[in-house]
Copies of this chain bind each other. A is one copy, B any other.
Amino acid sequence: MTLNEIAKALDIPCESNIEISGLNTLQDSNNCELTFLENKKYIKDLENTKAAAVLVKEDFVSKVPAGTFALVCDEPYLKLAYASNLFASTIVEEIGEECIIGNNSTIMKNVFLGKNSTIGTNCTIMAGAFIGDNVTIGNNTIVYPNVTIYRDCVVGNDCIIHAGTVIGSDGFGFANTKDGKYIKIYQNGNVIIGNDVEIGANTAIDRAVFKSTIISDGVRIDNLVHIAHNCKLGAGCILTGQVGLSGSTTLHEYVIMGGQSATAGHLEIAPFTTIAARGGVTKTISEPKKQWAGFPLFEHRQWLKLQGKISKLLNK
């Protein structure tokens, strides 16, 4: 789609007819992508962006670098939401089973295999599983009944995905109009799951808005875990039952999160960090190998000490 086609759809004046391949962040856009600036906190990223074009308010046009077209508008994030629909894939391209299946793989009945999906060797895909279009599944992987894998997602070798789990559902993203409507930001990314990953029952992992939600090799995820869009889990992370990760959380390798613990969005947790059950992480944790607990979060030993102090209030 050309930039002026997009601009026309968004009702923004623009003369450039360069080809735009998709949407991305200020930092990650290449010179075929459209990006946006809503929050001036990211003004440095604007100055350094390599994007083909940027949705930007009048005030910040002077900061747009030379090689990038400015699409000037009042509500860049809302315009991005509208633009995201222009790049959204059809949710299912074809109803059929044209799909490559490796040797010795078992596809049980009542499985749906989408167009251009690929299943490796020695896999078992159990009844009621849904494998969307363009999904790739590696070798020796087991997909239990009633699992749903949305289009474009990738699952590695030696994985086990338990029943009822959903991979690749849309992230929770929308922009507000002034009159109180929510405009969906189409989640045109995917989920990429590495090798030797086991995921429990009735868990949900959202697809990325841009690029990929990433679950690295060796990760273990328990039942009823919620992983929002654009999270990145390093190798060997362990998420226990009912953990919740908000959007764009990055867990570095071997982070362990106890039951019902959770994170706010857009933060990082250093390698080998342990978050105790019910811990709530609201800020980036930079120092590796420490243990944390509570909400608000304290170092685990401090939290235990604090609970002792709190319980003494009963005697006052």
By a beta-carbon cutoff of 8 Å, the part of chain A in contact with chain B is 91-92, 95, 106, 108-110, 112, 124, 126-128, 130, 142, 144-146, 148, 150, 160, 162-166, 169-170, 172, 174, 180-182, 184, 196, 198, 200-204, 206, 218, 220, 222-224, 226, 228, 235-236, 238, 240-242, 244, 246, 254, 259-260, 262, 264, 277-278, 280, 295-296, 298, 302, 305-307, 309-311, 313-314, 316
Listed by A's residue number, 22 A-B pairs whose Cβ atoms lie within 8 Å are: A91-B124, A92-B108, A92-B126, A95-B108, A95-B109, A108-B112, A128-B148, A146-B148, A148-B164, A150-B163, A162-B170, A164-B164, A169-B223, A172-B222, A202-B203, A223-B226, A226-B242, A242-B242, A260-B260, A306-B313, A306-B314, A310-B310
Please state if A244 and B242 are interface contacts (CB–CB under 8 Å).
yes
Please state if A259 and B241 are interface contacts (CB–CB under 8 Å).
no
Please state if A172 and B241 are interface contacts (CB–CB under 8 Å).
yes
Please state if B202 and A204 are interface contacts (CB–CB under 8 Å).
yes
Q: Which residues of B contact A206 (CB under 8 A)?
A: 200-201, 223
Copies in the complex: 3
Give min CB distance, A274 to chain B, whole Å. Answer: 14
Chain B residue nearest in CB terms to A295: B278
| A206 to B202 Cα, complex, angstroms | 11
| A280 to B277 Cα, complex, angstroms | 9
Please state if B142 and A91 are interface contacts (CB–CB under 8 Å).
yes
Please state if A148 and B163 are interface contacts (CB–CB under 8 Å).
yes
| A166 to B201 Cα, complex, angstroms | 7
Q: Which residues of B contact A223 (CB under 8 A)?
A: 166, 169, 172, 204, 206, 226, 228
| A144 to B224 Cα, complex, angstroms | 19
Chain B residue nearest in CB terms to A150: B163
| A246 to B126 Cα, complex, angstroms | 27
| A109 to B130 Cα, complex, angstroms | 11
Q: Which of B142, B182, B236, B306 contacts A218 (CB 8 A)?
A: B182
Q: Which residues of B contact A91 (CB under 8 A)?
A: 124, 126, 142, 144
